[in-house]
């Protein structure tokens, strides 16, 4: 009799997850995806009011969630999250941007964007991996990167620098931590409709540029990211590390 293979589980029952930037947009979508799959989700963000609203909405669905007010740039506070526990899944959705011509970028702009997009991402990964190693457990670390980690973009030299740096960082960390069963990957969305990106979509020139580049002829929605994050968090992606999932509608295909 033919022995059939079985699809690996997408369930996160019994797992604990941390999602940063979880109070809105993509981060909130990630928290929903993980909680719906059975994980206990610790939602972290800077603003207490929106964070509490997000956690209450998750709990109202019968899902397991709690909130932690966190400035991810505060490395002492960030490390404190991992002093208390090791997370089976860590999703870093915190990010920032200051778009404009490269010749107009100030050192203050550079420091502000690299501090969140690269510096805190680096140490978040290191703290998460160190806690897993101390606990003797495998885990999955997922960064919400960008298609701009693979291409260039108008007025996005600084943003692209941080996201290209993030992609290289993830590859090196994957090599370093693979033997401990710690996986690390990125999800690279195209332009996703969120309150933070609405001003870009409201600009006719920018909106036309976006629609011209996305081969599927539509902007991304938060829901487009959720399945990719669940896949990378679960056993279904057990042999996936050091790579990026491009959720870009074909933007980078040419």
Q: Is residue 59 part of a domain?
A: yes
Q: Is residue 56 part of a domain?
A: yes
In the block, tokens 């298609």 appear at 147
**In angstroms, rounded to a whole number, what is the distance separating the alpha carbons of residues 41 and 38?**
9
Q: Is residue 155 part of a domain?
A: yes
- What pLDDT score does 199 carry? 85
Q: Is residue 11 part of a domain?
A: no
- What pLDDT score does 196 carry? 78
Q: Is residue 7 part of a domain?
A: no
In the block, tokens 């029952």 appear at 13
**In angstroms, rounded to a whole number, what is the distance separating the alpha carbons of residues 63 and 32?**
9
Residues 6+ apart with CB under 8 A from 46: 69, 70, 71, 72
Distances (CA, A) of 62 to 14, 40, 41, 59: 15, 11, 12, 5
Per-residue pLDDT of the chain (254 residues; tens, 9 = 90+): 999 999 999 999 999 999 999 999 999 999 999 999 999 999 999 999 999 999 999 999 999 999 999 999 999 999 999 998 999 999 999 999 999 999 999 999 999 999 999 999 999 999 999 999 999 999 999 999 999 999 999 899 999 999 999 999 999 999 999 999 999 999 999 999 988 788 888 999 888 999 999 999 999 999 999 999 999 999 999 999 999 999 999 999 98
Q: Is residue 6 part of a domain?
A: no
Q: Is residue 68 part of a domain?
A: yes
- Annotated catalytic residue within 15, 163, 213, 231: 163
Decide if 33 contacts 230 (C-beta within 8 A): yes
Of 160, 140, 164, residue with least CA distance to 152? 160
**In angstroms, rounded to a whole number, what is the distance separating the alpha carbons of residues 225 and 187?**
8
CATH of the domain at 85: 3.40.50.720
Q: Is residue 32 part of a domain?
A: yes
Which residue segment(s) compose the domain that 151 sits in? 16-248
Collapsing DSSP to helix, strand or coil, 59 comes out as helix
**In angstroms, rounded to a whole number, what is the distance separating the alpha carbons of residues 198 and 200?**
5
**In angstroms, rounded to a whole number, what is the distance separating the alpha carbons of residues 13 and 131?**
20
Decide if 251 contacts 215 (C-beta within 8 A): yes
**In angstroms, rounded to a whole number, what is the distance separating the alpha carbons of residues 28 and 45?**
10
Report how many domains make up the chain: 1
**In angstroms, rounded to a whole number, what is the distance separating the alpha carbons of residues 58 and 49?**
15
Long-range interactions of 109-114: CB distance < 8 A, separation 24+: 109/158, 110/158, 113/158, 113/159, 113/162, 114/158, 114/161, 114/162
Residue 163: active-site member: yes
- What pLDDT score does 206 carry? 87
């Amino acid at each position: 009799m033919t022995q059939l293979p079985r699809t690996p589980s997408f369930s996160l029952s019994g797992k604990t997850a941390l999602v940063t930037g979880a109070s809105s947009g993509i981060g909130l979508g990630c928290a929903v995806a993980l909680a719906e799959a059975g994980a206990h989700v610790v939602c972290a963000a800077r603003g207490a009011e929106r964070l509490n609203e997000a956690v209450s909405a998750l709990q109202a669905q019968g899902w397991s969630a709690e909130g932690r007010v966190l400035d991810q740039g505060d490395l002492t506070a960030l490390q404190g999250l991992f002093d208390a526990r090791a997370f089976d899944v860590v999703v870093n959705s915190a990010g920032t941007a200051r778009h404009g011509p490269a010749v107009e970028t100030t050192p203050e702009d550079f420091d502000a964007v690299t501090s969140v997009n690269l510096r805190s991402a680096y140490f978040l990964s290191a703290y998460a991996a160190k806690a897993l190693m101390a606990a003797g457990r495998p885990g999955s670390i997922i960064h919400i990167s960008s298609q701009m980690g693979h291409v260039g973009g108008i007025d996005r030299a600084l943003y692209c620098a941080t996201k290209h740096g993030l992609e290289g960082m993830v590859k090196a960390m994957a090599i370093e931590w693979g033997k401990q069963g710690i996986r690390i990957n990125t999800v690279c969305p195209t332009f996703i409709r969120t309150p933070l990106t609405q001003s870009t979509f409201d600009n006719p020139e920018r909106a036309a540029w976006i629609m011209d580049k996305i081969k599927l002829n539509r902007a991304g929605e938060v829901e487009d990211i959720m399945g990719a994050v669940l896949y990378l968090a679960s056993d279904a992606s057990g042999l996936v590390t050091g790579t990026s999932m491009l959720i870009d509608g074909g933007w980078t295909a040419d």
